[in-house]
Amino acid sequence: MAARYHRAVALLDDDALVLDSLPYGELHLILSLLTPSAGVVRAVLRGARGGKHPQAAATQLLSLIHVVAFQGRRAELATVRQVELKVSSFPLAGDLERSTAAAVVAELLTTFCPQGEPAPRPFRLGVAALNALIGGSAPTTVVAYSQLWILTLSGLMPPLEDCSEVADDLEFLVACRTLGPSELPRRPSAELMRWLDRRVRREADRPLRALDFLRASGA
């Protein structure tokens, strides 16, 4: 089914990545979703808390879902009517570094994608990162790839010829332009990771706590 987002009737019918979930009352969750057609959308999934809801498995961080949601003209939040799990991030849950890398990707997308604006390329970036982490790619590679592309898509990445501080990683930077994170021929150096960390932290409008935790854990 083709994605649909109609502002007049506030209907969302699209694939989405779960960027965050917060408790709402005793039984519900507020989901922060990244969709290609509408960018970041916040929606209530009723009855999802406690894991007993049949759709609760679709609320895990960075899982890929298909969602149908409606939003009233004066409502601050959409209401999820239907959700289908397409790719679960559950396989990452048993690996601290991989699950934290997924949290970093979600954090970057949340921070740099405006709410309510179409975001097809950031959405594809998130899906590529999810698949790479599940497929066994190095978490440090996936995070560096995601940082590079989120800066590029936001217009914040300098031209490669101006990246003299990380000239030794030029091969990696060039490869990221044409290859997916699971196809890269080498891992980023420690210097490149520090350089990318500095740039995203400088441009972010909030603390990047998942990134801080990942680095504190030694990754």
The string of pLDDT tens digits covering residues 145-181 is 999 999 999 999 999 888 899 999 999 999 999 999 9
3-state secondary structure of 81: strand
User: pLDDT per residue over 94-104, tens digit each?
Assistant: 999 999 999 99
The larger pLDDT score, comparing residue 138 to residue 7, is at 138
Class of domain 91-216: mainly alpha
Domain ranges of the chain: 4-88, 91-216
Q: pLDDT tens, 60-116?
A: 999 999 999 998 777 889 999 999 999 999 999 999 999 999 999 999 999 999 888
Query: Is 9 a residue whose pLDDT tops 60?
Result: no
List Cα–Cα distances, 106 to 21, 34, 100, 207, 211, in angstroms.
Answer: 11, 9, 10, 14, 10
Question: Which fold, 4-88?
Answer: OB fold (Dihydrolipoamide Acetyltransferase, E2P) (2.40.50)
Predicted TM-score of the model (pTM): 0.92
pLDDT single digits (tens) 45-65? 987 776 566 677 789 999 999
Is-same-fold flag (4-88; 91-216)? no
Residue 4 has pLDDT above 80, yes or no: no
Which residues lie across from 18 on neighbouring strands? 33
Burial of 108 (0-12, 13-18, 19+ CB in 10 A): buried
Q: SS3 for 201? A: helix
Q: Is pLDDT above 80 for 33?
A: yes
Give the C-alpha distances (Å, rounded to integers) separating 110 from 61, 76, 107, 192, 219. 12, 18, 5, 23, 21
**Average pLDDT of the residues of the chain:** 91
> Do β-strands 28-35 and 78-87 pair in parallel, antiparallel, or remain unpaired?
unpaired
